[in-house]
Chain A
Amino acid sequence: DTAVSQTPKYLVTQMGNDKSIKCEQNLGHDTMYWYKQDSKKFLKIMFSYNNKELIINETVPNRFSPKSPDKAHLNLHINSLELGDSAVYFCASALGHLGNTIYFGEGSWLTVV
């Protein structure tokens, strides 16, 4: 009955590979996010979708491409992985996009070797 679930939880891959992280929420929310947490635990927003429409697109390399097939899902695809992409990626969701509580998933630990 996990509210925001993301898979895989752990991912180790080689430089240059392409990988995807999937996210699903069963909270009935219409806004979803991807955040990145670096090794110093700094959390930074990457993308946000509201009703499948991209509303936040921070300065992220275009190797990162989010895809939202419906408002309950937001996947993150990463092309040509680099060492610096190693981080924890958190999916999150909220109801609306005007100052409501954002709920986070448990994170996906990506290690690029």
Chain B
Amino acid sequence: GESVGLHLPTLSVQEGDNSIINCAYSNSASDYFIWYKQESGKGPQFIIDIRSNMDKRQGQRVTVLLNKTVKHLSLQIAATQPGDSAVYFCADSLSGGYNKLIFGAGTRLAVHP
């Protein structure tokens, strides 16, 4: 497997609590935003995305909020479960820019029973 990302910020939550993972992006022209979940030894898995004409989008137990004014993105996970433990990445792109995703540094979510 890969080495542990020791420099990753970690969010520790209790099982059943809600989790909020934050992300800042730098390109004010970005118009597509996406969250990925990466479990140990696996590839990034799509969670939810949002386009810049929206400020909120909900999925199953997850909500993404977009604040274009301050270039901030957040992922909310309701009723966090042990299976949610993973590294979460946000990414943004410019839809006219060949889908070139720029990834954030990642946040490790640790769910405790």
A interface residue numbers (CB < 8 A to B): 4, 31, 37, 39-45, 48, 50, 55-56, 88, 90, 92, 94, 96-107, 109
User: Which residues on A sit within 8 Å (CB–CB) of B46?
Assistant: 101-103
B interface residue numbers (CB < 8 A to A): 1-3, 5-8, 31-32, 34, 36, 38, 41-46, 49, 51, 87, 89, 91, 93-96, 98-101, 103, 105-106
- Tell me the complex Cα distance, A38–B38, Å: 14
Contact B31–A99 (Cβ < 8 Å): yes
- Tell me the complex Cα distance, A42–B45, Å: 15
Given contacts A37-B2, A41-B5, A104-B44, contact A97 B103 (CB under 8 A): no
Which of B8, B46, B101 has the most CB atoms of chain A within a 10 A radius of its CB? B101
Contact B96–A98 (Cβ < 8 Å): yes
Contact B2–A88 (Cβ < 8 Å): yes
Residue among A37, A94, A104, A109 making CB contact with B99, cutoff 8 Å: A94
User: Which residues on B sit within 8 Å (CB–CB) of A98?
Assistant: 95-96, 98-99
Contact B1–A40 (Cβ < 8 Å): no
User: Which residues on A sit within 8 Å (CB–CB) of B100?
Assistant: 45, 48, 56
Contact A101–B2 (Cβ < 8 Å): no
Given contacts A42-B103, A45-B100, A107-B42, contact A99 B2 (CB under 8 A): no
